[in-house]
Amino acid sequence: MKAVVFHEFGGLDTLQLEELPDPAPGPGEVLIDVAASALNHLDVDIREGVSRFPVEPPFVLGLEVVGRIAALGEGVEGWQVGDRVMPFLMDHCSECRYCRTGRESLCDSPGFISFSTSGGYAEQLVCSVGHLMRVPEEIPDEAAAALQIAFGTAWHMLFTRGRLGPAETVMVNSVGSGIGSAAVQLAHLAGATVIGNASADEKLERAAELGMDHGINHRTQDVVEEVMRLTDGRGVDLVFEHVGGELFQKGLDSLAKDGRLVICGGHSGEVVPFDIIPFFRSQKSVIGSFVYTRDEVEKCLELARQGKITPVVYEVFPLEQAREAMATMERREHFGKIVLRPRVEAAA
Ligand SMILES: [Zn+2]
Tens digits of residue pLDDT in 176-210: 988 999 999 999 999 999 999 999 999 999 999 99
- What Cα–Cα distance (Å) separates residue 49 from each residue in 8, 38, 325? 9, 20, 19
Segment 64-122, tens digit of pLDDT? 999 999 999 999 999 999 999 999 988 888 899 999 998 888 999 887 765 656 799 99
In angstroms, the CA 56 to CA 59 distance is: 7
In this predicted structure, what is the pLDDT of residue 111? 76
Residue 91 alpha carbon to ligand 1 centre in Å: 9
Identify the CA nearest to 342 among candidates 181, 84, 184, 145. Answer: 145
Angle (CA) 329-144-114 rounded to 5° is 65
In this predicted structure, what is the pLDDT of residue 285? 98
> What residues contact 159, with CB distance under 8 A and at least 6 apart?
186, 190
In this predicted structure, what is the pLDDT of residue 92? 83
Residue 316 alpha carbon to ligand 1 centre in Å: 35
β-bridge mates for residue 169, sequence order: 193
Helix axes 201-209, 178-189, angle to 10 degrees: 40
Residue 102 alpha carbon to ligand 1 centre in Å: 10
- What Cα–Cα distance (Å) separates residue 174 from each residue in 147, 177, 260? 17, 6, 17
**At 147, is the secondary structure helix, strand, or coil?**
coil
Angle (CA) 112-154-261 rounded to 5° is 110
In this predicted structure, what is the pLDDT of residue 12? 97
In this predicted structure, what is the pLDDT of residue 102? 86
Which segments of the chain have a pLDDT < 70?
Answer: 113-117, 344-348
In whole numbers, what is the pLDDT of the chain averaged over residues? 93
Residue 88 alpha carbon to ligand 1 centre in Å: 15
* Residues whose beta carbons lie less than 5 angstroms from ion ligand 1: 92-93, 96, 99, 107
Type and span of the H or E element at 204? helix 201-209
In this predicted structure, what is the pLDDT of residue 105? 87
Cβ neighbour number for residue 269 with a 10 Å cutoff: 14
Residue 231 alpha carbon to ligand 1 centre in Å: 42
Residue 184 burial by CB count (10 A; 0-12/13-18/19+): exposed, middle or buried? buried
In angstroms, the CA 252 to CA 259 distance is: 9
Residue 278 alpha carbon to ligand 1 centre in Å: 37
Residue 153 alpha carbon to ligand 1 centre in Å: 19
